[in-house]
């Protein structure tokens, strides 16, 4: 596993998914019942992202900017140690906010882990399974772009992808769009078939329902049988789908 790619997955997929958590989980929403506070995460070789937490929600921003606290990571592995719970970063700014980082913020990330790393007993609860499936779709979808941009195998796959978009969607539910432009990728919330430009090709992978989405992304249901049973529908420019499937195959290594 590439440490730079893992750091980018942690910052741009896991933290971005944290923004969905209070929309789905009342306990997380209650933790955010305070005045807004912005934390910047700045990692050498990976870049910067910011989280604005408060007023019952979490907002994710790509890139640096104004913040109440800035956490600096001289090497990517330090990001990964923080997410693994084996390292606590020293703030470059906002030392007085350290208690928030080790308190409320840690409780939020623990709550996200609770949903993303379920036990069979927890998945027996329909409400839990619904939240797990939605969060898993987002974290896996966001991770696709980071793996394509930073993982050596992922970069090799991206080199073979022409400009275009791939929609990852749930019927009557959320849509994520993987955008490929000049062999670099990013993910947009929503359906954006023209995001790669007027000449970009388009493809889609559509799950029949939320339950199918969760089963496939948790590894409980293989894609090909699901396609045969019409639980997954594929369409559009086939080479884009083939390469996206290669990227999806790398996701479990980074989110296990």
Query: CB of 41 within 8 A of CB of 18?
Result: no
- Report d(CA 19, CA 170) in Å as an integer: 19
Burial readout 115-134 (b: 16 or more C-beta within 10 A, e: otherwise): bbebeeeebeeeebbebbbb
- Report d(CA 69, CA 93) in Å as an integer: 5
pLDDT at 198 over 80: yes
Query: CB of 60 within 8 A of CB of 16?
Result: yes
In the block, residue with structure tokens 């998945």: 123
DSSP state, residue 5 = H
pLDDT at 24 over 90: yes
- pLDDT, residue 87, reads 83
- pLDDT, residue 217, reads 86
pLDDT at 22 over 90: yes
pLDDT at 71 over 80: yes
Share of the chain above pLDDT 90, in %: 84
At 71, give phi and psi (nearest 5°): -105, 125
Beta strands in the chain (DSSP E): 37-43, 47-54, 57-62, 69-73, 91-93, 164-170, 175-181, 184-189, 201-207, 232-236
pLDDT band with cut points at 50, 70 and 90 for residue 214 = confident
- pLDDT, residue 219, reads 82
- pLDDT, residue 220, reads 86
Overall average pLDDT of the 52-65 stretch? 97
Share of the chain above pLDDT 70, in %: 100
Out of 12-21, 110-119, 198-207, 210-219, least confident range: 210-219
- Report d(CA 185, CA 158) in Å as an integer: 8
Overall average pLDDT of the 195-213 stretch? 94
pLDDT at 221 over 90: no
* Cβ atoms within 10 Å, residue 65: 11
Q: Enter the tokens of residue 166.
A: 């791939």
pLDDT at 205 over 80: yes
What pairs with residue 175 in β-bridges? 169
- pLDDT, residue 98, reads 87
Query: CB of 4 within 8 A of CB of 76?
Result: yes
- pLDDT, residue 191, reads 96
- Report d(CA 35, CA 32) in Å as an integer: 8
pLDDT at 256 over 80: no
- pLDDT, residue 131, reads 95
- pLDDT, residue 104, reads 95
Out of 37-46, 47-56, 221-230, least confident range: 221-230
What would the pLDDT profile of 80-126 be if each residue is shown by its tens digit?
999 988 887 878 999 889 899 989 999 999 999 999 999 999 999 99
What pairs with residue 203 in β-bridges? 166, 236
pLDDT at 208 over 90: yes
Picking from 124, 147, 116, 152, the residue whose alpha carbon sits closest to that of residue 18 is 116
Long-range contacts of 186-193 (CB under 8 A, 24+ apart): 186/145, 187/141, 187/142, 187/144, 187/145, 191/167, 192/165, 193/165, 193/167
Domains in the chain, start-ordered, CATH in brackets?
A: 3-116 (3.30.1050.10), 136-255 (3.30.1050.10)
- pLDDT, residue 168, reads 95
What would the pLDDT profile of 144-190 be if each residue is shown by its tens digit?
999 999 999 999 999 999 999 999 999 989 999 999 999 999 999 99
């Amino acid at each position: 596993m590439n440490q730079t790619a893992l750091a980018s997955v942690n910052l741009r997929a896991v933290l971005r998914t944290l923004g969905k958590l209070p929309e789905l989980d009342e306990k997380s929403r209650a933790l955010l019942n305070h005045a807004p506070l912005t934390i910047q995460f700045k990692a050498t070789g990976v870049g910067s992202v910011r989280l604005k937490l408060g007023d019952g929600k979490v907002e994710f921003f790509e890139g640096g900017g104004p913040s109440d606290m800035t956490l600096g990571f001289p090497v990517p592995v330090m990001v990964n140690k923080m997410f693994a719970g084996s390292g606590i970063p020293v703030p470059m700014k906002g030392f007085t906010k350290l208690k928030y980082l080790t308190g409320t913020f840690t409780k939020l990330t623990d709550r996200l882990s609770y949903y993303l790393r379920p036990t069979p007993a927890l998945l027996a609860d329909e409400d839990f399974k619904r939240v797990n499936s939605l969060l898993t779709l987002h974290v896996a979808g966001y991770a696709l772009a980071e793996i394509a941009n930073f993982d050596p195998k992922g970069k090799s796959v991206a080199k073979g992808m022409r400009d275009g978009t791939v929609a990852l969607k749930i019927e009557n539910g959320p849509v994520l769009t993987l955008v490929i432009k000049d062999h670099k990728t990013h993910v947009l919330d929503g359906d954006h078939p023209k995001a790669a430009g007027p000449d970009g090709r388009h493809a889609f992978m559509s799950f029949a329902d939320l339950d199918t989405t969760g089963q496939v992304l948790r590894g409980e249901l293989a894609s090909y049988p699901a396609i045969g049973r019409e639980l997954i529908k594929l369409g559009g420019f086939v080479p884009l789908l083939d390469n996206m499937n290669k990227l999806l195959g790398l996701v479990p290594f980074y989110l296990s």
